[in-house]
Structure 1
Amino acid sequence: MRCMSASPRELAKAQRRERYLEAAATLIAERGFSGVSIDLLGSAVGVSGPALYRHFSSKEDILTQLLVGASERLLAGYEAIIAENLGDEETLHRLVHFHLDFATNERDVILAQERELGNLPEEPRRQVRSLQRRYVNGWVAITERLMPEASRADLTVRLHAVFGLLNSTPYSGSLASPTRVRSILAEMALSSLFAAQAPASIGRCGGTPE
């Protein structure tokens, strides 16, 4: 059976949809989901608000496609790197830089996901959470082999801290050149992941080091 490719009309429609989602991410990052109306989004992309209903069933559907799509792209990127069958250490380095690329190129999506996940309807929210768990569990599987002495719970905590660091690019991107920011965050992510447990005296209340 011969595969059917998308028609020019279908491709154009898909491109418009992606442009609308990019604009939605920017507006939601700036104003919050509750501060963005269909009419405002339509104005931002040069169409009437009702015209957007040719692509999305509702304002919530826009947020759903934005956040579910982001989680799907992250998981697909992870799976593509895993498929290369590299060593665990090289795979981890590739994953760190992949996630940095995503956070750098899709800063508005990162901000929207960070702030607006609770505004998703229940079913797509569960879908995002499921995709996120698969993504995190994939990283855990790699770090378990690199750090066999660490418990899975400890590695999960460390990795969530690493994701928080990598996702900080929307806040730190204006402080230095993009190349420098990426270099610093990648180095810090790997260092913090493998850092030895801090001495118990650190963080104790009272007393000043002499």
Structure 2
Amino acid sequence: MAMRTDAPTRREQILKEAARLFAERGFHGVGVDEIGAAVGISGPGLYRHFAGKDAMLAELLVGISGQLLTGAKRRVAEADGSGRGADASGRPGGAGGASVGRDAEAILDSLIEGHIDFALDDRPLITLHDRELDRLRDSDRKLVRQLQRQYVELWVGVLREVYPGLVEPAARSAVHSVFGLLNSTPHLGRAGSLPGRATTAELLHRMARGAFEAAAGERAQG
């Protein structure tokens, strides 16, 4: 995902602290006063930015799903270099899954790098998704699922370009498995206890590629 160079807005600051507190204490364990104190404003002052905690949670979970999809589409377009990018279905090069040719490996590596950035930099959001998704309104939860499906299908299309013998169901299972691997970062301990961001990112990348290689190799043997 793209790195921001400008200062975060007050709204973004509120969301960041809300995510951290919700992940640490649970949604019901945090009050608006605590969130306000974390960003230096009164609890009631939060209502100038959000209708309440439910609105914060929805924006966090819908927002990160949308950001992941948008970032992945951008990475496909940049790594492909042809300007085709991904169509509305999330498939690279068009609904028919037109070949991304020799750039497929670079595209897959770029997608993995983007998801690793998320997994290392937004660990509270992974915890929130696992614990609190069911608290969203039906419409927001459906939107999260829709965005996630598009994100998965984009990966599936690229993966099958890299490993042409990998059938679609197996590719989809492999993508979900790798997401599970990368999204395990909240269980790795506190950020300060990790061996270093670059080292951890490199390890996760090797493990993700190894998992895809194993899935493709097992399919080829079958």
What letter matches 1:160 in structure 2?
Answer: H
C-alpha separation in 1, matches of 2:174 and 2:209:
10
Alignment of 1:69-148 (within 5 A): 69-84=63-78, 85-86=80-81, 87-148=103-164
> 1:5 aligns to what?
none
Aligned residues: 187
* Higher Rg: 1
Give structure 1 stretches of 5+ with no counterpart: 1-10, 199-210
Q: Deviations over 1:143-196 (max 9, x none)?
A: 122222222111111111101111122322534222211111100001111203
The aligned counterpart of 2:203 is: 184
Give the superposition deviation at 1:64. Answer: 0.5
After superposition, the CA RMSD in angstroms is: 1.9
Q: Distance in 2 between matches of 1:115 and 1:95?
A: 25
Alpha-carbon shift at residue 131 of structure 1 (Å): 0.6
Which residue of structure 1 lines up, in the alignment, with residue 89 of structure 2? Answer: none
Tell me, which stretches of 5 or more residues in structure 2 are unaligned?
A: 1-5, 82-102
Aligned partner of 1:204 in structure 2 is: none
User: For the Cα contact (< 8 Å) 2:76–2:111, is it kept in 1?
Assistant: no
- For 1:35, the equivalent position in structure 2 comes to 29
Distance, in Å, in 2 between the alignment partners of 1:167 and 1:70 is: 13
Q: Deviations over 1:16-43 (max 9, x none)?
A: 0000000001001101112112222122
Check conservation: 2:123, 2:185, Cα contact below 8 A.
yes
| Partner residue, 2:84 | none
Per-residue deviation, residues 29-74 of structure 1 (Å, max 9, x unmatched): 1011121122221222222211111111121100001111111110
Q: Which runs of 4+ in 1 moved over 4 A?
A: none
User: Could you state the TM-score of these two structures normalised by the residue count of structure 1?
Assistant: 0.83
Partner of 2:13 in structure 1? 19
**What is the distance in 2 between the residues matched to 1:175 and 1:54?**
38
TM-score (norm 2): 0.79
1:50 aligns with 2:69: no
SS of equivalent to 2:218: coil
Which residue pairs with 1:202 in the alignment? none
1:100-137, CA deviations, whole angstroms, 9 ceiling, x for partnerless residues? 11111111122212221111111111111111111110
Once the two structures are overlaid, the 10-residue window that deviates more, 171-180 or 186-195, is: 171-180
Q: Secondary structure at the match of 2:9?
A: helix
Out of 191, 197, 204, the position equivalent to 2:218 is 197
Which residue number corresponds to residue 206 of structure 1?
none
